[in-house]
Amino acid sequence: MENYPSIATTVSKTPIIAFDKLDGSNIRTEWSRKTGFTKFGTRKRLLDPNEDVLGEAVELFQTSYADDLERIFRKQRLEKATAFLEFAGVNSFAGQHENEPHELVLFDVHVYKKGLLPPKEFLKLFGELRTPEILYEGIANAPFVESVRESQLDGMTFEGVVCKGALDSRRRPTMFKLKSQAWLDAVKARYGHDEKVLQELI
């Protein structure tokens, strides 16, 4: 099962689509034409559907995405793909979750022998499904960056945005993330004592 790549924090000056960054946990699931969806995982490990909190994501996926993704994958005649989704609730923060309703939101798909789909292709194939809100399109200029830092970008939730563009020289979508200063301050207040955790989150 494919791992999701680390996202840069260096702003690219190429045209991008900025998606709202939901504050939750990365969930992935692998599909193949022969077996369907059989593997689930977090960002770094396999996921047991019986485990507390994140195990809920497996059933949520089966009821909210499995049939639609199966239909699209088969229509595109794919052999294998990995879907990446964000698991979050209203009060989720920095990978921690409360005892409350949660949802899954599809934010990327990796296609076997092709890689992560660039944003326009992703939206063309999966835009009919629940995906993160598009908040901006164009060059990530200074006013745009400032609007994210100051939590002034229309439609943005607490954490910030993920910006995605066309394929780069390595045939990977251009990607970088921008965080709001309010979110960064909240993370530092909670995890400032643990440098390793702090660096991983930021």
pLDDT in tens, 93-122: 998 999 999 999 999 999 999 999 999 999
77: left (phi over 0), alpha (psi -120 to 50) or beta: left
What is the overall mean pLDDT for the chain? 94
Which distant-in-sequence residues (6+ apart) come within 8 Å of 59 by Cβ? 49
Q: Which has the closest alpha carbon to 130: 4, 19, 35, 15?
A: 19
CA distance linking residue 150 with residue 100, whole number of Å: 28
Q: What is the 3-state secondary structure (H, E, C) of 52-100?
A: CCCCHHHHHHHHHCHHHHHHHHHHCCCCEEEEEEEEECCCCECCECCCC
| 200 has pLDDT over 70 | no
10-52: pLDDT as tens digits: 999 899 999 999 999 999 999 999 999 999 999 999 999 999 9
Structure confidence at residue 192 as a pLDDT band (50, 70, 90): confident
Summarised one tens digit per residue, pLDDT across range 53-77 is 999 999 999 999 999 999 999 999 9
Bridge partners of 162? 19, 177
Q: Please, what are the domains in the chain? A: 16-201 (3.30.470.30)
User: Is residue 202 pLDDT above 90, yes or no?
Assistant: no
Question: Is residue 199's pLDDT more than 70?
Answer: no
Look at residue 180 in the predicted model and tell me its pLDDT: 97
Task: Report DSSP letters for the chain, one per residue.
Answer: -PPPPP-B-SPP-S-EEEEEE--SEEEEEEEETTTEEEEEE-SSSB--TTSTTTTHHHHHHHHHTHHHHHHHHHHTT-SEEEEEEEEE-TT-BTTB--SS--EEEEEEEEETTTEEPPHHHHHHHHTTS--PPEEEEE---HHHHHHHHTT-STT--SSEEEEEEEE-TTSSEEEEEEE-HHHHHHHHHHHTT-HHHHHHH-
**Identity of the highest mean pLDDT range in 93-102, 127-136, 164-173:** 127-136
pTM greater than 0.75 (yes/no): yes
Q: What is the pLDDT of residues 138-157, one digit of tens each?
A: 999 999 999 999 999 999 99
Confidence of residue 191 (pLDDT cuts 50, 70, 90): confident
Give the residue-averaged pLDDT of 156-171: 92
Q: Would you state the pLDDT for residue 169?
A: 75
Of all residues in the chain, the percent with pLDDT exceeding 90 is 87
Residue 197 pLDDT level (bands cut at 50, 70, 90): low
